[in-house]
Amino acid sequence: MTISEENYIKVIYHLSLVSPKGVNTNAIAGMLDTKASSVTDMLKKLSEKELVSYQKYQGVTLTDKGFYSAKMIVRKHRLWEVFLVDKLNFSWDEVHEIAEELEHIKSENLINKLDAFLDFPSFDPHGDPIPNADGEIKKINKLLLSETELNKEYQCVGVKDSSSEFLQYLDKQKIALGSKITVKEKESFDDTLLVQIDSRQLTISNKIANNLYVK
Amino acid sequence: MTISEENYIKVIYHLSLVSPKGVNTNAIAGMLDTKASSVTDMLKKLSEKELVSYQKYQGVTLTDKGFYSAKMIVRKHRLWEVFLVDKLNFSWDEVHEIAEELEHIKSENLINKLDAFLDFPSFDPHGDPIPNADGEIKKINKLLLSETELNKEYQCVGVKDSSSEFLQYLDKQKIALGSKITVKEKESFDDTLLVQIDSRQLTISNKIANNLYVK
DNA sequence: TATTATTTTTAGTTTTGCCTAAATTTTTAG
DNA sequence: CTAAAAATTTAGGCAAAACTAAAAATAATA
Ligand SMILES: [Mn+2]
Ligand SMILES: [Mn+2]
Ligand SMILES: [Mn+2]
Ligand SMILES: [Mn+2]
């Protein structure tokens, strides 16, 4: 697979988690910052290689082969992110871009040795699960902060939006994966939350609450 | 710079250490396993970007800019090789191919953090010097085993040929960087050497002696 | 020096991945 | 159910990086 093909497969994977019936051409184009006509061209090629099932106008899904390939790319991406944060002391808002390049390095041996070196982590720095060498993914029951019950203690386990702006906001508010969070009050007018984080009180907008996973 | 451009610059760098007057089109083609006509095309592009000085039929040399770029690619290649051997437990004959890919990862920040993580190594697993962040290279006075004096103790510091066949031969004979080597006798007919390595006696062909650096 | 031989460049194609513009199909609304 | 809107595909092209074949320049040699 070329780097371009890998990027398409990965995007189709991510989109198919949301629309399992079939992924739209325009959605793919949007994620890859390219044009729908280019996507159509690539879908034909991926279909030829039996990485996706594609009938024109009907959207696209991954074949088993494509699904496995996608998970291996995601595995590489997330393991490299762990390496960058845990070993090289990058902060969690700096690693995504670099991992976008590292995920295309070809050696399977490399990624398995990296996995061992990192002690077989199950989650990346953003709380996303890391597929193991067989493509199996550990699921956890997480929910958005906006969906939690009042006065019940949760633990922060991930982010939905992993843009550096959002991650830097969390850093500024000293909210990290592992932080204990309890929603004390919910303002019905705008869904703003009054929360207790570790031992601090904080007011959190609905937008934030919709992008923070807890369990 | 594209990956292809980087590969050309790196090859021109290596060849120009041997032929500083100017590197031949065919020599470049040979190293990159491509055709002379493709090289000519690329030389025009690199010249356009002021990475090389090139006049047709006259061979090519790196500009200061090209020379610095080349050293940064070599720096990345060799640092990644150190990482693979020291941290991921690859053996020294397995790392070159993977480093050929890793050397094209773009972030300067990444490579400087990797450098720090590895404790600023000066030499890679094959004994080749690693340029620092400014492009400076630590030179050592090394010579080939075939050029040594009889009955004088040397230390193995590098390999000229770093093919896996040669490296695996050295592993088999338990010759590693750091090994103490003394040439006891030289057979004048075929230049075969009788050497003492650490505490063992060994007969070594001229071909081997011409590819092992000592100091 | 004149003539080969070798090296290098030019000319013309190919493939990959992308683009714009136009045509087609599907979906949504009236 | 039809007409407009939206989504998707086709057609035709472009740029990068490779190739082959042929031409031109340089180097080697008789
Ligand atoms: Mn990421
Ligand atoms: Mn991540
Ligand atoms: Mn190498
Ligand atoms: Mn090396």
Task: Indicate if CB(A21) is under 7 A from strand C.
Answer: no
CB-based contacts of A198, cutoff 8 Å, min separation 6: A174, A179, A180
Q: Looking at beta carbons, which residues of chain B come within 8 Å of A87?
A: 117
Q: Ligand 4 center to residue B181 CA distance, Å?
A: 22
Could you tell me where the beta strands, DSSP code E, fall in chain A?
52-54, 60-62, 143-144, 153-159, 180-186, 193-197, 200-204, 212-214
A105·B107 Cβ contact <8 A? no
**pLDDT digits over A60-105, tens only?**
999 999 999 999 999 999 999 999 999 999 999 999 999 999 999 9
The C-alpha angle with vertex B24 and arms to B21 and B29, in degrees rounded to 5, equals 145
pLDDT of residue A63: 98
pLDDT of residue B42: 98
Helix axes B3-18, B36-48, angle to 10 degrees: 100
- Tell me the pairing of strands A180-186 and A153-159: antiparallel
Task: Indicate if CB(A45) is under 7 A from strand C.
Answer: yes
**pLDDT digits over A142-201, tens only?**
999 999 999 999 999 999 999 999 999 999 999 999 999 999 999 989 999 999 999 899
Residue B83 to chain A, least CA–CA distance (Å): 11
Q: Can you spell out the DSSP letters for B131-183?
A: P-TT--------EEGGGPPTT-EEEEEEES---HHHHHHHHHTT--TT-EEEE
A98·B90 Cβ contact <8 A? no
Q: How confident is the model at residue A140 (pLDDT cuts 50, 70, 90)?
A: very high
Which homologous superfamily is B143-214 in? Ferrous iron transport protein A (FeoA) (2.30.30.90)
CA gap B81, B93 in Å, rounded: 10
For residue B197, give the H/E element and its range. Answer: strand B193-197
Query: Chain A 149-208, CB below 8 Å of chain B: which residues?
Result: none
Q: Looking at beta carbons, which residues of chain A come within 8 Å of B90?
A: 109, 113
Average pLDDT score over residue span A39-55: 97
Task: Indicate if CB(A37) is under 7 A from strand D.
Answer: yes
**pLDDT digits over B11-46, tens only?**
999 999 999 999 999 999 999 999 999 999 999 999
Instruction: Give per-residue burial for A29-46: e unless 16+ CB within 10 Å, then b.
Output: bebbebeeeebeebbeeb
Give the residue among A68, A123, A133, A69 at the shortest CA–CA distance from A92. A123
B106 touches chain A (CB under 8 A): yes
pLDDT of residue A32: 98
Task: Indicate if CB(A43) is under 7 A from strand D.
Answer: yes
pLDDT of residue B118: 98
Q: How confident is the model at residue A23 (pLDDT cuts 50, 70, 90)?
A: very high
Q: How confident is the model at residue A44 (pLDDT cuts 50, 70, 90)?
A: very high
pLDDT of residue A15: 98
Q: How confident is the model at residue B161 (pLDDT cuts 50, 70, 90)?
A: very high
Q: Ligand 4 center to residue A110 CA distance, Å?
A: 17
Backbone angles phi, psi at A157, to 5 degrees: -125, -5
CA gap A207, B170 in Å, rounded: 61
> Which residue do the tokens 């959207």 mark?
A59
CA gap B126, B82 in Å, rounded: 9
Ramachandran category for residue B42: left, alpha or beta (phi over 0 → left; psi -120 to 50 → alpha):
alpha
pLDDT of residue A42: 98
pLDDT of residue A4: 97
CA gap B50, B54 in Å, rounded: 9
Residue A192: exposed, middle, or buried by beta-carbon count in 10 A (0-12, 13-18, 19+)?
middle
pLDDT of residue B162: 94
Q: How confident is the model at residue A1 (pLDDT cuts 50, 70, 90)?
A: very high
B90 touches chain A (CB under 8 A): yes
Residue A72 to chain B, least CA–CA distance (Å): 17
CA gap A106, B178 in Å, rounded: 32
Q: How confident is the model at residue A6 (pLDDT cuts 50, 70, 90)?
A: very high
Task: Indicate if CB(B107) is under 7 A from strand C.
Answer: no
**pLDDT digits over B164-176, tens only?**
999 999 999 999 9
pLDDT of residue A14: 98
pLDDT of residue B208: 96
**Averaged pLDDT score across all residues of chain B:** 97
Give the residue among A179, A142, A162, A7 at the shortest CA–CA distance from A91. A162
pLDDT of residue A165: 96
pLDDT of residue B65: 97
A111 touches chain B (CB under 8 A): no
Domains of chain B, residue spans: 3-62, 143-214
**Averaged pLDDT score across all residues of chain A:** 97
Q: How confident is the model at residue B160 (pLDDT cuts 50, 70, 90)?
A: very high
Asked if residue A49 lies in contact with residue A95, where contact means CB atoms within 8 angstroms, the answer is no
- Architecture of the domain defined by B3-62: Orthogonal Bundle (1.10)
Give the residue among A108, A88, A107, A106 at the shortest CA–CA distance from A98. A88
pLDDT of residue A148: 95
The C-alpha angle with vertex A18 and arms to A139 and A123, in degrees rounded to 5, equals 30
B117 touches chain A (CB under 8 A): yes
A55 touches chain B (CB under 8 A): no
Q: Ligand 4 center to residue B124 CA distance, Å?
A: 6
pLDDT of residue A205: 96
Counting residues of chain A whose pLDDT is more than 70, the rounded percentage is 100
Q: Ligand 1 center to residue A68 CA distance, Å?
A: 18
